[in-house]
């Protein structure tokens, strides 16, 4: 080491025998910084994956965050030789996950919670989320709920209330309805008078678990997804009128499989979704009147369906490329949505290999 270098080192408080390690350390630090930045950018660019699993007119929607954590909304039906559990496991395999971190049960009906016991035998589950106790008293309903509780066992359990967050890394998931209760205040960015409430009449009061559905808004960057389970018409009006407490959505998971007990224009038109996805079966859901309300929503680009609806006929079904299953036979095709934080996304139909890109807005 030259004399000037030694003097410089002493002036800066560095021992001369450590001086020749400084530059390599700086290089290593710079390399590490570049690698860390590249890793962060790669993580930021990883998409959100959503699988709309066909459970023949029930619901099972698998969200897989870029963090690798997952949320399954409902589990389809039970029995049927593990049909629905196997389809969920197949979707999880496509998403390259071996565990479901959160299973959210919207309400305690057989097409939503019935598949829990079989799924729990097939995959590890980190926690269950629901609205609390089952409120129906029939023997069949109580049996279904008892089977759910038995399958849950000692697994972590969260009872969600409106406004609560479900802590999934990489996603912002907010409960907006639960056990008949609804948000009392508008979400950030929402609020304001809802013009689509005008002229919408209430329907007969629904005393069932449907009206107690645990509904969520899921936000990923600029992308917003609304899934209210089977929340019924009057509860929609209570949530959205006179003030729109939810704001707008990019993607609307059509409520109640497209049954006309739900999907009021006060909800659907105020959300103004770009894309709607209907978890219907060939003989369940897809009611023409509900289909018309969704299809006529301002700004809607496309309505995707898990099944061709027999009740809808040619006039009340989407074109073939946008329908996952077109035959009555148990074909089991899913729909996959791949989303990015800028709000852009792609929907893919594996039956016909058709996909459509939706740019950020």
pLDDT band for position 37 (cuts 50, 70, 90)? very low
Domain residue limits at 15: 3-38
Q: Please, where are the H alpha helices in 233-298?
A: 233-240, 265-271, 288-295
How far is CA 339 from each of CA 50, 261, 275, 318, 331, rounded to the nearest angstrom? Answer: 8, 30, 12, 22, 26
Please check whether residues 148 and 55 belong to one and the same domain.
yes
The CB-side HSE value for 95 (13 A sphere, CA atoms) comes to: 35
Please check whether residues 274 and 312 belong to one and the same domain.
yes
How far apart, in whole angstroms, are the C-alpha atoms of residue 107 and residue 179?
8
Q: What is the average per-residue pLDDT within 210-221?
A: 98
How far apart, in whole angstroms, are the C-alpha atoms of residue 215 and residue 129?
11
51-99 per-position pLDDT tens digit: 999 999 999 999 999 999 999 999 999 999 999 999 999 999 999 999 9
Please check whether residues 144 and 270 belong to one and the same domain.
yes
162-178 per-position pLDDT tens digit: 999 999 999 999 999 99
Please check whether residues 30 and 135 belong to one and the same domain.
no
pLDDT at 1 over 60: no
Contact between 243 and 192 (Cβ < 8 Å):
yes
How far apart, in whole angstroms, are the C-alpha atoms of residue 211 and residue 67?
33
Give the burial class of 95: count Cβ atoms within 10 A of its Cβ; 0-12 exposed, 13-18 middle, 19 or more buried.
middle
Chain position carrying tokens 């449907």 = 210
Please check whether residues 216 and 243 belong to one and the same domain.
yes
Please check whether residues 12 and 74 belong to one and the same domain.
no
Neighbour count for residue 313 (Cβ, 10 Å): 10
125 DSSP β-pair partners: 100
How far is CA 132 from each of CA 105, 107, 114, 158, rounded to the nearest angstrom? Answer: 10, 9, 16, 8
Q: Could you give the 3-state DSSP secondary structure of residue 187?
A: coil
Q: What is the average per-residue pLDDT within 209-224?
A: 98
Contact between 281 and 329 (Cβ < 8 Å):
no
The CATH number for 171's domain is 3.60.15.10
Please check whether residues 32 and 99 belong to one and the same domain.
no
Q: What is the pLDDT of residue 144?
A: 97
How far is CA 323 from each of CA 6, 28, 175, 255, rounded to the nearest angstrom? Answer: 76, 53, 29, 17
How far apart, in whole angstroms, are the C-alpha atoms of residue 261 and residue 106?
16
CB within 8 A of 322, min separation 6: which ones? 302, 303, 304, 305, 349, 354
Q: What is the pLDDT of residue 328?
A: 84
Please check whether residues 98 and 135 belong to one and the same domain.
yes
Please check whether residues 19 and 121 belong to one and the same domain.
no
- Give the number of residues written for the chain: 361
Q: 353 versus 32: which is more confidently predicted?
A: 353
Which residue from 316, 304, 283, 289 is spatially nearest to 58, judged by alpha carbons? 283
Please check whether residues 184 and 280 belong to one and the same domain.
yes
Please check whether residues 321 and 282 belong to one and the same domain.
yes
272 alpha carbon, distance to own chain's centre: 17
Phi, psi of 355, rounded to the nearest 5 degrees: -135, 155
Q: What is the pLDDT of residue 12?
A: 44
Please check whether residues 8 and 52 belong to one and the same domain.
no
247-271 per-position pLDDT tens digit: 999 999 999 999 999 999 999 999 9
The CB-side HSE value for 245 (13 A sphere, CA atoms) comes to: 21
Percent of the chain with pLDDT over 90: 86
pTM of the complete model:
0.88
Number of domains in the chain: 2
Phi, psi of 326, rounded to the nearest 5 degrees: -115, -5
């Amino acid at each position: 080491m030259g004399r000037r270098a030694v003097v410089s080192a002493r002036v800066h408080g560095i021992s001369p025998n450590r001086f020749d390690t400084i530059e390599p350390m700086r290089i290593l630090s710079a390399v590490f910084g570049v690698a860390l930045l590249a890793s962060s950018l790669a993580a930021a660019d990883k998409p959100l994956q959503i699988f709309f699993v066909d459970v023949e007119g029930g619901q099972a929607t698998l969200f897989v965050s870029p963090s690798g954590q997952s949320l399954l909304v409902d589990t389809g039906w039970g029995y049927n030789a593990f049909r629905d559990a196997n389809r969920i496991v197949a979707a999880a395999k496509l998403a390259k996950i071996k565990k479901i971190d959160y299973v959210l049960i919207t309400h305690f009906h057989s097409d939503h919670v019935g598949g829990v016991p079989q799924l729990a035998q097939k995959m590890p589950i980190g926690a269950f989320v629901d609205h609390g106790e089952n409120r129906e008293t029939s023997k069949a309903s109580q049996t279904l709920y008892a089977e759910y509780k038995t399958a849950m066992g000692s697994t972590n359990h969260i009872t969600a209330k409106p406004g609560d967050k479900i802590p999934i890394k990489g996603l912002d998931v907010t409960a907006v309805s639960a056990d008949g209760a609804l948000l009392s205040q508008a979400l950030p960015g929402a609020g304001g008078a809802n013009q689509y409430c005008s002229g919408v009449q209430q329907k007969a009061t629904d005393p069932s678990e449907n009206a107690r559905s645990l509904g969520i808004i899921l936000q990923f960057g600029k992308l917003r997804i609304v899934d209210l389970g089977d929340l019924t018409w009057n509860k929609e009006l209570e949530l959205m009128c006179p003030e729109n407490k939810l704001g707008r959505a990019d993607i609307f998971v059509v409520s109640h499989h497209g049954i006309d007990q739900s999907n009021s224009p006060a909800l659907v038109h105020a959300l103004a979704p770009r894309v709607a996805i209907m978890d219907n079966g060939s003989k369940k859901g897809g009611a023409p009147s509900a289909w018309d309300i969704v299809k006529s929503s301002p700004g809607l680009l496309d309505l995707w369906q898990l099944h061709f609806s027999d009740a809808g006929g040619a006039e009340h079904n989407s074109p073939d490329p946008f329908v996952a299953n077109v035959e009555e036979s148990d074909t089991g095709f899913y729909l996959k949505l791949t989303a990015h934080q800028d709000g852009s996304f792609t929907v893919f139909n594996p039956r016909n290999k058709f996909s459509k890109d939706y740019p950020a807005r």
